[in-house]
Structure 1
């Protein structure tokens, strides 16, 4: 996230069980920008964590799981439950908030919360003189914005899940979201709701979409579907994505079309830089 003629300002806090960092890019020589927006983003995410954390006994989600009526809880819990139900239908059962037989919206909430905070507090910065881009990174899941008047590109590296510290591909994003899921970072933690078994065939799945909410859900779907099944991309409206299997096989798509790639070999995947944008730069 750098470039000649630009300055980067960054802030970071640990929230929602991960490190959240905020980055604002300005033209060299422009005043520092983004401090208030960063504080507002962090406060927004802490509030969402207060309501939705499954690790806090006093959270609204924990109270719901303990038998409290939905009508007595924060109204956002119902909104999230409805959204999770809609995603379960859209994913044809590959995503659910009920994989453990109790309500756990964690697979939805982080992406949704980070996107909402970014759109409310960071996106308006793009109109500030001297600011060319702003973005948020929550444990590798990103929502990114760039000014129409700038040629800035966000360069996002995709880690090799089989060789820590190495990169298998680089994505260049103007505006959009990037989300990654899989077993490489957190081990086996995703359950296939159709079978109740752990999803283990995908080491890493990275999805690029307009929205981090969508990218995060579809990355989970990619892990659940498995490395041999890309049928879901026809319904997903993602921009592109890469799935790396537990054996090192690589599958990549653009839109709803799969692109021939190959294997991860000696720390190198046969991938090229992919410029991605929802608009002309």
Structure 2
């Protein structure tokens, strides 16, 4: 899926095969949902080869989430941009990694940290998770203390202006980075991306999402954070 994945499990009695199951699942997701693979379910749907009734329950769930955030952001977040193919990756990443974390929990893991390209599911803990400074790669702008939570960041520093505001068709440039802490990575990643697509107004929107705590830096280098953000001492 184009990002590195690392896993740390501190429970001694969890079988090693549980880690194998995590990576097997993520590989399966890449094959099934990548818009860059011509035989994936997403690509076949985009070409009109599949009807809604033919879709897997997993893809139906992902597309429902995409539509939920499209409506909630007034179209700023949209996986069907004009002139581009269907690309639900912004939701698939967090959704699939959260599912992987649930596989670990089902296998008996209670204390683990699953990191997917900087987006993290933390179980047990507390875990200290650093958020990269949006303009200085060797610095952190905040360190979070997570226990049974997830955190995701949307920013411009890794892939440039890659998040598009669906309302204008232009790159979203109102923010430098926006980090969301939520109960699941499905929520954290989706809210972070959707809010970033909204630009500066996305900060207030993200802060209003149930169960979400937010840390953001806008294009004017102003810092915003919610009172409940779990900052490490």
Same fold (TM over 0.5): yes
Q: Which residue of 2 aligns with 1:225?
A: 198
Please point out which of 32, 42, 46 is paired with 1:61.
Answer: 42
Q: Which residue of 1 aligns with 2:231?
A: 273
Please point out which of 95, 99, 103 is paired with 1:120.
Answer: 103
Q: How far apart are the structure 1 equivalents of 2:104 and 2:121?
A: 12
Q: How far apart are the structure 2 equivalents of 1:247 and 1:203?
A: 9
Q: How far apart are the structure 1 equivalents of 2:232 and 2:34?
A: 35
SS of match in other structure, 2:171: coil
Q: Which residue of 1 aligns with 2:183?
A: 210
Count of residue correspondences? 231
Q: Which residue of 2 aligns with 1:43?
A: 24
Kept after mapping to 1: 8 A contact 2:150/2:182: yes
Deviation at 1:32, TM superposition (A): 6.7
Q: Which residue of 2 aligns with 1:142?
A: 120
What RMSD over aligned residues (CA atoms) do the two structures have, in Å? 2.2
Q: Which has the higher strand share?
A: 1
Q: Which residue of 2 aligns with 1:18?
A: 3
Q: How far apart are the structure 2 equivalents of 1:34 and 1:187?
A: 40
Q: How far apart are the structure 1 equivalents of 2:47 and 2:202?
A: 37
Q: Which residue of 2 aligns with 1:236?
A: 209
Alignment pair present for 1:199 and 2:172: yes
Kept after mapping to 2: 8 A contact 1:179/1:206: yes
List gaps (5 residues or longer) in structure 2: none
Moved over 3 A (4+): 31-34, 71-75
List gaps (5 residues or longer) in structure 1: 1-15, 127-131, 147-151, 260-271, 276-281
- Return the index of the structure with the highest Cα Rg: 1
| Alpha-carbon distance change, 123 to 210 in structure 1, aligned in 2, over 3 angstroms | farther
Alignment pair present for 1:110 and 2:93: yes
| Alpha-carbon distance change, 72 to 139 in structure 1, aligned in 2, over 3 angstroms | same
Q: How far apart are the structure 2 equivalents of 1:213 and 1:242?
A: 18
Kept after mapping to 1: 8 A contact 2:15/2:107: no
| Alpha-carbon distance change, 25 to 154 in structure 1, aligned in 2, over 3 angstroms | same
Deviation at 1:253, TM superposition (A): 1.5
Q: Which residue of 2 aligns with 1:83?
A: 65
Deviation at 1:234, TM superposition (A): 5.2
Q: How far apart are the structure 1 equivalents of 2:106 and 2:217?
A: 32
Q: Which residue of 2 aligns with 1:163?
A: 136
More RCO (CA 8 Å, sep 6+): 2
Q: How far apart are the structure 1 equivalents of 2:91 and 2:202?
A: 22
SS of match in other structure, 1:185: coil
Q: How far apart are the structure 2 equivalents of 1:226 and 1:125?
A: 40
Deviation at 1:196, TM superposition (A): 1.1
User: 1:165-214 CA distances to partner (integer Å, 9 max, x unpaired)?
Assistant: 11111000011110011111111100001111110121211100001111
SS of match in other structure, 1:46: helix
Deviation at 1:229, TM superposition (A): 4.8
Q: How far apart are the structure 1 equivalents of 2:38 and 2:199?
A: 34
